[in-house]
Structure 1
Amino acid sequence: MNFNPKSKVSKIVLLITSFVIVSLILWNTNSFFKTFKEEERHKMEIWATAQLELLQSSETAELGNLTLKVFQNNTSTPMILVTKDGAIRTNNIPEEQASDSLYIQRKIKQFESENTPINIDDNGDHLQTLYYGNSEVLNKLKYYPLALLLIILLFGTVIYFFFKTNKASEQNKLWAGMAKETAHQIGTPLSSLLGWNELLKAENINPEITKEIEKDISRLETITERFSKIGSLPSLEEHDIVVETKSAFDYLKLRSSKLVHFSFKSQIDATNVLLNPSLYQWTIENLVKNGIDAMRGKGNIGIEILKDGNLVHILVSDSGQGIPKGNYQTIFNPGVTSKKRGWGLGLSLVKRIVEEYHGGKVKVLSSSKQGTIMQVSLQLIP
């Protein structure tokens, strides 16, 4: 669903523009590298000409100032000069390495792969061969496009995660807005139901009927409260964890299939925890409903409350098919579900309520083909 087509078009334009700019930079860098390499080749050809002039001169004094200046100015390009007799002379190569014949042979092969050797001939008579490598500046320039690509890749990654985070933020705002609007829409018929229930009481009908209606109205009020709190930070108050857990458990027990067997056990009598009762009970309901779905509506559901130092653990167990170990973390991601018609929001809400709102932890404690145990851990009040 596209909620902001203009924004989408602008992002595409930005990406295309970035790609064009990057391509131009790389093309320009490559062109500059080739030009610089040609200039270096031309410089080496001049040096080779000066070397030929040296060989043709009987005495150094006969050399012109220009030739001497050519020799003096070449301080950056590494060179190896090989005569027709096999004698080797080096230039701009450290002395300790220049004396190593194996190193020189490797360098000759390297220089030959980098640049075409220059033959120094005198009227068809081959005198010397000049092997030269890339200067330090040229080598740095050669790796510049790779460094640029790495920077662009990192920049693109940052942009990608920025857009992704921005999109997730927009979706969260949308869902929060829809939830609050749903709570607002439920409010009007809920008020009417309260009025109709009072009229039913005045008609002297079976009190059990109006009592059950009141329970369902109370349930709708709880749901409305939950939806109204999505997207805002809920207030936490001191509550008995055993009482709140038992309340959510009993409600589901009365309204579930008789094929599901419920059991509740607590090793502690009363323990206070900072809770938002409405959201906490939503957590228990989601975990229990997930367990019932995993059992396909038939099996055993149990809740056990344990104390572990300054923590309280709420264990929700089922006798379903189990969860693959590789999915222990992903089941809490939004949209992950094994149900054909599920939205994959239940466990995502559980994780958000427990960890973000209550500062606790939720995880798959254990799972096998015999069933699954989910654990919610909360901090006790000292």
Structure 2
Amino acid sequence: MTLNPKKTSNILLLIASFVIVSLILWNTNSFFKKFKEEERLKMEIWATAQSELLQSSEDRDLGNLHVKIFQNNTSTPMILVNKDQSIKVNNITEDEAQDTSYLTKKIVQFQAENTPISIDYKGEQLATLYYGNSEVLNRLKYYPIALLLIIFLFGAVIFFFFKTNKASEQNKLWAGMAKETAHQIGTPLTSLLGWNELLKAENISTSITDEIDKDIMRLQTITERFSKIGSLPKLKEYDIVQETKDAYDYLKLRSSKLIQFSFDSKIESLPVLLNRELYHWTIENLVKNGIDAMRGKGSISIEIIPSGNFVTILVSDSGQGIPKSNFNNIFNPGVTSKKRGWGLGLSLVKRIVEEYHQGKIKVLSSSKEGTIMKISLKVNA
């Protein structure tokens, strides 16, 4: 089995990224431990100086050494508790040093961060030194988390970029195919118009030529629909009830007698901005999908319900239903349950409704008893 070169490069890139991140985290952790050990060593030196001072407070030079060591610590917070329970602090504000409860909490915190250092002399404990992590060490502790967050965000940006780019390429592909189809239909359609005019001149029965005219008009409508995919169509005010019924009736007259059709509108008319050809295509696609799901036998119904500034169009069928996990996937290009089909119908429907008409379409419900598709469009006030 051979791997796709693009997939192989993606896998290698993922492995390389993982190795780099691992090395950075390992190096950061090592640096953190080393820095913490150095701070510990400084505290032990300070504790030793403090021990010597407590043992010989009359030694002036030793006191100066202690003071010098004490003053050199400007980053690590410390609390020194003497055996008489007197307290000395360093790198803690004066107000905080006067707050006993605050110091008690800090001692507990320092104990959790670092093991306290006992200052002893000849087996006697003179004092206990509690110290916390310096500000630099605290920042360094959260550095790996910040790094992982940055990497995660960077990865998410790249993922969404490629996903959007892929979707854009797919849309361009479908739009290109639609326009090419419209272009290809145009040539034989022109010939059909000419041949039909010749038939009329030969005094052929008008019932035949009229039916040919209907089919030619139908092909012209299909051509116009395909030509508008990929470009922003013009919207005009139409009666949503009448346009839905026209598209619905067209399929009703051309479908099997085994299918029961019903149409119900809660209003007589309602103005909505539409592209008539594309809206008819949407209704026809949904009805045809319902018929396919029923395998040519069952019931199809359309219901129009006004709701505030919106109007809802429900297309119901008594087909085999759609698994809930596929409620969103069915609108993706290439997704189809048919053995023969490209899976373009519902993806085009979604584009027509949401991108061209600024509406919404979704699977309202679906079960073994059937499916209900819901379209919501804004009313033209």
Distance, in Å, in 1 between the alignment partners of 2:197 and 2:151 is 69
* Residue-by-residue CA offset, 1:218-275 (whole Å, 9 max, x unaligned): 2222222111111110012233434433332233223322211223455655554332
Aligned length: 373
Change (3 A) 1:143 1:264: closer
SS at match of 2:277: helix
Q: Is residue 352 of structure 1 aligned with residue 354 of structure 2? A: no
Which is further off, 327-336 or 154-163?
327-336
The alignment partner of 2:238 has SS state of strand
Which residue is equivalent to 1:36? 35
1:57-97 alpha-carbon deviations (Å, 9 max, x no partner): 251535253332112333543445577x7968553365466
Contact 1:97 1:103 in 2 (8 A): no
- For normalisation by structure 2, the TM-score amounts to 0.79
Q: 2:112 maps to what in 1?
A: 110
Question: Which has the larger displacement, 239-248 or 14-23?
Answer: 14-23
- The equivalent of 1:65 in structure 2 is 64
Whole-Å separation in 2 of the counterparts to 1:376 and 1:119: 75
Q: 2:89 matched to 1:91?
A: yes
Structure 1 residues 21-170: aligned runs within 5 Å: 22=21, 25-63=24-62, 65-79=64-78, 91-92=89-90, 94-95=96-97, 103=105, 106-107=108-109, 109-111=111-113, 114-115=114-115, 118=117, 130-170=129-169
| Larger mean Cα displacement after TM superposition, 210-219 or 282-291 | 210-219
Name the counterpart of 1:254.
253
1:48–1:270 Cα change, 3 Å: closer
- 1:21-53 C-alpha deviation (Å, 9 max, x unpaired): 655654553344234223312312321331232
Alpha-carbon distance in 2 for matches of 1:245, 1:154? 46
Shift of 1:284: 0.9
Decide which moves more: 344-353 or 15-24.
15-24
Matches within 5 A, 1:1-382: 22=21, 25-63=24-62, 65-79=64-78, 91-92=89-90, 94-95=96-97, 103=105, 106-107=108-109, 109-111=111-113, 114-115=114-115, 118=117, 130-266=129-265, 271-306=270-305, 311-323=310-322, 331-364=330-363, 369-381=368-380
Change (3 A) 1:271 1:38: closer
Q: 1:121, CA displacement in angstroms?
A: 6.0
Q: CA RMSD in A?
A: 3.9
Counterpart Cα distance in 2 of 1:98 and 1:74 = 23
What is the CA distance between 1:326 and its match in structure 2?
A: 6.9
TM-score, structure 1 normalization: 0.79
Which structure 1 segments of 5+ residues have no match? none
Question: Structure 1 residues 118, 282: CA separation in 2 closer, same or farther (over 3 Å shift)?
Answer: same
Q: What SS class does the counterpart of residue 262 from structure 2 fall into?
A: strand
Secondary structure in structure 2 of the residue aligned to 1:262:
strand
Q: What is the CA distance between 1:181 and its match in structure 2?
A: 1.6
Distance 1:76 1:311 in 2: 64
2:145 and 2:307 map into 1 onto residues whose CA distance is 55
1:44 maps to a residue whose letter is M
1:318 Cα deviation (Å)?
2.2
Whether the aligned pair in 2 keeps the contact of 1:90 and 1:98 (CA below 8 Å) is: no
Matched AA of 1:174: L
User: How far 1:368 moved relative to its partner?
Assistant: 5.3
Instruction: In structure 1, give the amino acid aligned to 2:160.
Output: F
Structure 2 counterpart SS, 1:176: helix
SS at match of 2:141: helix
Matches of 1:103 and 1:306 in 2, distance apart? Answer: 65
